[in-house]
Structure 1
Amino acid sequence: MSHRDINVLNDYFMRYLFSSKDSNLILLDFINSTMLDAGMKTFRRVEILTPFNYKENYEDKETIADVKCITQNGTVVIIEIQLQGNSRFPERILYYWASNYSKLLKHGEKYDALTPVISINLLNFNLDDNDNIHSCYMIYDTLNQRLLTDHLQIHIIELKKFKYNLLKHDLNCWLKFFTMKEKDNKEVIMSELVKEKPIMEEVQSRYNNFIKNRLMMNEYDKREAYLYGNQIILEEERRLGIEEGFKQGIKENQILTVKNMKNRNMDIALIRDITGLSIEEIEKL
């Protein structure tokens, strides 16, 4: 492999890997690896619906799935790669699923024209504190666990929780690839993966082709800068939110303390000295 290392979770690279015109077998293998790990049926072939374009508009990124394909039986599979998020992210996942599901039915068509939509979400952050790396959600009756419909299937893969050999073999190999760090010796890791899973030889070849392509690497660098900028903004907003919340908490504590002191008929001047509030502020409480 080349000495130029990249972040394999960069969504531009991931779209190149999974959505290029001849990526069908790689994409099919990843989807089937996810299905097998969840005990679901696999597929024989896929057709890519969102073909990779080396020159992409990042401003449109939030409105489209990273990868979208259709299987031989009409099932639609959407794959999202997300590097950061929060506890409300499940609602976003459901919204994207619903958006794709609703587009299956044209005006005037009957509901039997609808087909299943499978959402696979690769997250580089933790949604919660449980240890589940791969979770699969469907619609079940809460009393008898009877499946209402197989049209909704949502997979959430939390990469930060990944520990090798906790999943079934095929998905283990894929997650070992996804969790490679830029400083890791990728040549050694990929050599091991090729021995374990033959499709990884094609993945390795595509990785090498990508990092040797000047145009794609330029676009990759632009995307990394865009993602880094977003991360800085989010971290600053989070910091300001914490500081504001802390200040608000102090203020509320002061108010409660003043009210308790006044209820005990403490001297106003003494309350002022203890709390730092003005006499006018104290009298208003």
Structure 2
Amino acid sequence: MNMSYLDPKIDLVFKRIFSRADLLLDFLNAVLPLDAPIETLTYLPTEQAPQVPDMRFSIVDVKCCDQNGRVFVVEMQMLWTDAYFSRILFSGAQAIVNQLSPGDSYQSLCPVYSVTVLNDVFEKDPDEQDCWLHHYKITKLAKRGRHGKILKGLQFVILELPKFNPKTKTEKKVTALWLRFLRDTGRPGFVPDETFLSYPPVADAVKLAEFQGYSAAEINRYQKHLDALRNEKSSLLDARTEGLAQGVKKGLAQGVKKGLAQGVEKGRADVARNLLALLDDEAIARVSGLALPKIKKLRAGT
């Protein structure tokens, strides 16, 4: 296999890199809109990770808390579907529920950040084409559509990797390094440049993605995951193509039907218009088939 680096967005590699608390801490500080930086991270038991059905191309068992008790559920999502918003709501809410044991008070609950690194595009609004970070909070809708107070406790952050393209010096250097690492590593011909290797956390992550560091069994698992991902993409594309074709077919049929109906209506109106000087409205309606109110409008000249 002519490959020097594996894709860190794939389950096996992602877990190996971010099972190191120092790398996960640096990554989260770099990409998240936090009120205060993370100083220490503690991984939570894997059985507390949210169990969400039908998440074949998601990683949801990277779950940890910081020195202030904030909980972070970090997920690598390869494909976007319309149901995904509901799924992240479910996993975020479950991360709150799992904090309480019998007898615990609600005051003991800690804030939860649901973090999704998305290797797909979900926001297709032209005005959002340069927006790669989406931060959702629960806010009160104040007067005139302005947002008021924030209901603290649950926040969602979605990072769209395909849209990330730093263009200005205002982009944080470390943020750019981490997102470039996730976006580019594993691509054909990828070679880490000096900016990657000069920043120790990213340099360590690059090292952990080296093909030579994985066993034959692990590479086999990696390839199976890639094959399944390709098949899923093809299925989604086929479904979207079929849906589009059906939509076009239905639209054409509706257009023809509407056109025929409009043509018939116009013909009736032409017949009625020619009879206005000869017959009364009721007689014209019987002859032309045009509704009486429309005949009255024709006679009124409207």
Q: Which AA in structure 2 matches 1:263?
A: E
- Secondary structure of residue in 2 paired with 1:122: strand
1:216 corresponds to 2:218: yes
1:7 corresponds to 2:7: yes
* Partner in structure 2 of residue 24 of structure 1: 21
Mapping 1:123-134, distance limit 5 Å: 123-128=118-123, 129=125, 130=128, 131-134=130-133
Q: Which AA in structure 2 matches 1:98?
A: A
- Secondary structure of residue in 1 paired with 2:157: strand
- CA distance in 1 between partners of 2:242 and 2:29 (Å): 43
Query: Which of residues 232, 235, 240 in structure 2 aligns to 1:233?
Result: 235
* Partner in structure 2 of residue 55 of structure 1: none
Percent identity between the aligned chains?
23
Q: How does the TM-score come out when normalised to structure 1?
A: 0.78
The Cα of 1:204 is off from its aligned counterpart by 2.2
* Partner in structure 2 of residue 92 of structure 1: 87
Q: Which AA in structure 2 matches 1:25?
A: D
- Secondary structure of residue in 1 paired with 2:258: helix
- Secondary structure of residue in 2 paired with 1:202: helix
Give the length in aligned residue pairs: 252
Mapping 1:267-282, distance limit 5 Å: none
Q: Does structure 1 conserve the Cα–Cα contact (< 8 Å) formed by 2:5 and 2:209?
A: no
**Which is higher, the Rg of structure 1 or of structure 2?**
2
- Secondary structure of residue in 1 paired with 2:141: coil
Structure 2 spans left out of the alignment, 5+ residues: 47-52, 269-302
- CA distance in 1 between partners of 2:231 and 2:58 (Å): 19
* Partner in structure 2 of residue 139 of structure 1: 138
Q: Does structure 2 conserve the Cα–Cα contact (< 8 Å) formed by 1:66 and 1:81?
A: no
- Secondary structure of residue in 2 paired with 1:186: coil
> Taking structure 1 as reference, are residues 14 and 233 closer, same or farther at Cα in structure 2, changes over 3 Å only?
same
The Cα of 1:108 is off from its aligned counterpart by 3.8
* Partner in structure 2 of residue 122 of structure 1: 117
- Secondary structure of residue in 2 paired with 1:141: strand
Q: Which AA in structure 2 matches 1:215?
A: A
- CA distance in 2 between partners of 1:125 and 1:192 (Å): 25
* Partner in structure 2 of residue 111 of structure 1: 106
The Cα of 1:209 is off from its aligned counterpart by 6.3
Structure 1 spans left out of the alignment, 5+ residues: 52-57, 267-285
The Cα of 1:150 is off from its aligned counterpart by 3.0
Query: Which of residues 175, 178, 188 in structure 2 aligns to 1:174?
Result: 178
Q: Does structure 1 conserve the Cα–Cα contact (< 8 Å) formed by 2:58 and 2:75?
A: no
1:192 corresponds to 2:166: no
- CA distance in 1 between partners of 2:4 and 2:230 (Å): 19
1:45 corresponds to 2:40: yes
Q: Which AA in structure 2 matches 1:140?
A: T
Mapping 1:143-154, distance limit 5 Å: 143=142, 145-154=147-156
Runs of 4+ residues over 6 Å off in structure 1: none
Q: How does the TM-score come out when normalised to structure 2?
A: 0.74
Moved more, 227-236 or 140-149: 140-149
The Cα of 1:243 is off from its aligned counterpart by 0.9
- CA distance in 2 between partners of 1:4 and 1:62 (Å): 23
Q: Does structure 2 conserve the Cα–Cα contact (< 8 Å) formed by 1:136 and 1:153?
A: yes
- CA distance in 2 between partners of 1:114 and 1:220 (Å): 37
Q: Which AA in structure 1 matches 2:18?
A: F
- Secondary structure of residue in 2 paired with 1:179: helix
